[in-house]
Structure 1
Amino acid sequence: MATLLAPWHWLLDTFAWPWLLLALPLPWLARWLLPSARGTAAALQVPYGERLQRVAAVGRRGFGGSAGALAWLGWILLCVAAARPQQLGEAVQPPQAARDLMLALDLSASMREPDMDLGGRSVDRLTAAKAVLADFLDRRGGDRIGLIVFGRRAYALTPLTLDLDSVREQLNDSVIGLAGQETAIGDAIALAVKRLQARPAEQRVLVLLTDGVNTAGLLDPAKAAQIAHAEGVRVHTIAFGGEGSMSLFGVPMPMPGAGDEIDEAGLRAIAKTTGGRFFRARDTSQLVDIYAEIDRIEPIRQPGQALRPRIERYHWPLAAAFACALLAFAWPRRRLA
């Protein structure tokens, strides 16, 4: 079927309403189908009847010849104008606000700490982080997002992609310990830098969320931050976690000193070295505010999808049809003169 329609694709590309070209044979059909009008009144007798017949014969010859051809040409041009001929213009890429963000999520054992409140219930840190990140992804229309998880090692679960459903699925499937029980912050930064090298310099952004200190990996976080700075990657760091908790007769209780396990000074230094910002989130509401702030500080203007605008050209055949109509009416009078 597609092969049969292929020769007619040019009609769809050239005309907005190609079906109006079916009106081309209407005058011929009307002349062929409708009966000729016959007069029943008595003919008028005049002494100069032969002269009138000669004048009528000249008029019929004129209209049936050049004038008739002009009338037909005018009708054809009018149908073409009604079908709205169009021309494809040069391709343009309208700018749009979009972002290219790599998200690095800590999956170490400390993310199991149940010191977060979500919807009135106590949940572990990873569950709270997933909920906030899922809402963040829901508002990322047009953005490219990549996902890195890290524990003892760092792994890229998704590259930078517009398919946010895949990112969301990988996020939902991530569990504590998937990348190991320890925390390799330096390796996560290095992996993100590697994934972002192909992007333009102003679009290299990493958002790193962790609740601990660097305890594993091959690369020291400070050295990784220097590499990120050299490659033009801005790293926004988020220290996430409450004050910790322990269970006493099934009731979560604050655990003294647990909040000190987060290396806030180290994360702050990473952000400062790379030109990013450091954030501290002790609950989900603060984490939501942080991602909203990242929304505001990382908008990127980049070319959108290339489009070829359609330029209307119907006024040319319409003007030609009007000219043909004037000539068709004026032609018999010129012959008579």
Structure 2
Amino acid sequence: MFELAWPWIFLLLPLPWVLRWLLPAADSGDAALKVSFLGELESLAGRRAAVALPAWRQQLPYLVVWLLLLFAAARPQWLGEPLPLPTSGRDLLLAVDVSGSMDYPDMQWQGDEVSRLELVKHLLGDFILERRGDRVGLILFGSKAYLQAPLTFDRQTVRTWLDEAVIGIAGGNTAIGDAIGLAVKRLRERPAESRVLVLITDGANNGGEIEPLLAARLAAREGIKIHTIGIGADAEAGGVLQRFGFNTGAELDEPTLRAIAEQTGGEYFRARSSNELEAIGATLDQLEPVAQQPTQARVADALYVWPLSAALLISLMLVANNLWHAALPRLFRRRKQP
């Protein structure tokens, strides 16, 4: 279906004539000679003078150019058939811990030992791309919590921001309460049934200004469901650091994470390996979608380039014609010189 997005542009149609009427006539500065006996001069010269075109015919090409420019400015477009947008989905925020402990290489990915954050990037990235119909956002937290990506349907960009996250970008501590508080601020204006936060951490809260359980109560009051994921291998898993006597899983505060999930109606998951983390993603995929107001969209193909190109072509032809007529008398004068 053809449509003009800005048809009110045609109100500018009389603008050139209004300006001509308001502004004073231009003075070329050349003397003008008016001859009352033009017919006698023509007979003596043996030829007739060129007959001037009527004023309306002289202005016609410029009128066409002006109409084409207005038509292009009105944004002509061809609208396709209405396509339904997703009518169900969630507002899903992901809060990922990027504190120093997430750099521990105690996880396995395709036979190689990788850090906890690298494993989260591999598996959570695919989880993000599969959230068709959901608005997905990303919070990175360490000593402070920062909104890295607001809620958006552009899942690929959210995954890119996750892939570019680095250890320590938000500080070396773990502010779980601040991350939940920031999520509450971003989700509280969304429909109550669709507010979901997935929080991933490997430690206990040792930073920030809000206690995790207090932030969880605020989230529960706003109807935000929080799913918590504790990541990190057990001491007996035999990772690189465990071989030297370090228990990298000892810092994980499972009771607090479990209490956060219970207070908000979510679930707590323990991810000790890539298989467990992948299974957690599959479980989260089973969340029931919430019906939202159905909407439709039409694909619009812009057509302004055609009238704009026609106006440019006619303008170039007018310029070429004026240059030719201006150069023609000079050419004849050069030929008559001895």
* TM-score scaled by length of structure 2: 0.62
Q: Is 1:197 aligned with 2:166?
A: no
Return the index of the structure with the highest Cα Rg. Answer: 1
Which residue of 143, 146, 151 corresponds with 1:155?
146
SS, match of residue 292 in structure 2: strand
Partner of 2:176: 185
User: Deviation digits for residues 141-170 of structure 1, max 9, x if unmatched?
Assistant: 222101001000100011101112221221
Alignment of 1:12-23 (within 5 A): none
For 2:83 and 2:130, how far apart are their aligned partners in 1?
26
TM superposition shift of 1:257: 3.8
SS, match of residue 209 in structure 1: strand
Q: Would you say the 8 A contact 1:116–1:283 is kept in 2?
A: yes
TM superposition shift of 1:140: 1.8
For 2:85 and 2:109, how far apart are their aligned partners in 1?
40
User: Deviation digits for residues 39-85 of structure 1, max 9, x if unmatched?
Assistant: xxxxxxxxxxxxxxxxxxxxxxxxxxxxxxxxxxxxxxxxxxxxxxx
Counterpart code for 1:99: R
Decide whether aligned partners of structure 1 residues 255 and 283 sit closer, same or farther in structure 2, where only a CA change above 3 A counts: farther
Q: Would you say the 8 A contact 2:86–2:133 is kept in 1?
A: no
Partner of 1:295: 285
Output the aligned Cα RMSD. Answer: 2.9
Partner of 1:232: 223
Between 1:177-186 and 1:156-165, the stretch displaced more is 156-165
Which residue of 265, 274, 281 corresponds with 1:275?
265
Q: Would you say the 8 A contact 2:145–2:182 is kept in 1?
A: yes
Highest RCO, 1 vs 2 (Cα 8 Å, sep ≥ 6): 1
Q: Would you say the 8 A contact 1:246–1:254 is kept in 2?
A: no
Partner of 1:51: none
SS, match of residue 242 in structure 1: coil
TM superposition shift of 1:305: 2.6
Which residue of 145, 151, 164 corresponds with 2:136?
145
Partner of 1:115: 106
Decide whether aligned partners of structure 1 residues 201 and 92 sit closer, same or farther in structure 2, where only a CA change above 3 A counts: farther
Q: Is 1:266 aligned with 2:256?
A: yes
SS, match of residue 182 in structure 1: coil
Partner of 1:133: 124
SS, match of residue 183 in structure 1: coil
Poorly superposed stretches of 4+, deviation over 6 Å: 91-95
Could you tell me the percent identity over the aligned residues? 47
Q: Would you say the 8 A contact 2:106–2:240 is kept in 1?
A: no
Decide whether aligned partners of structure 1 residues 95 and 218 sit closer, same or farther in structure 2, where only a CA change above 3 A counts: same
Aligned length in residues: 229
- Residue segments in structure 1 that go unaligned for 5+ positions in a row: 17-87, 309-337
* TM-score scaled by length of structure 1: 0.62
Decide whether aligned partners of structure 1 residues 96 and 220 sit closer, same or farther in structure 2, where only a CA change above 3 A counts: same
Which residue of 194, 199, 215 corresponds with 2:206?
215
Q: Would you say the 8 A contact 1:95–1:301 is kept in 2?
A: no
For 1:253 and 1:164, how far apart are their aligned partners in 2?
39
Counterpart code for 2:230: A
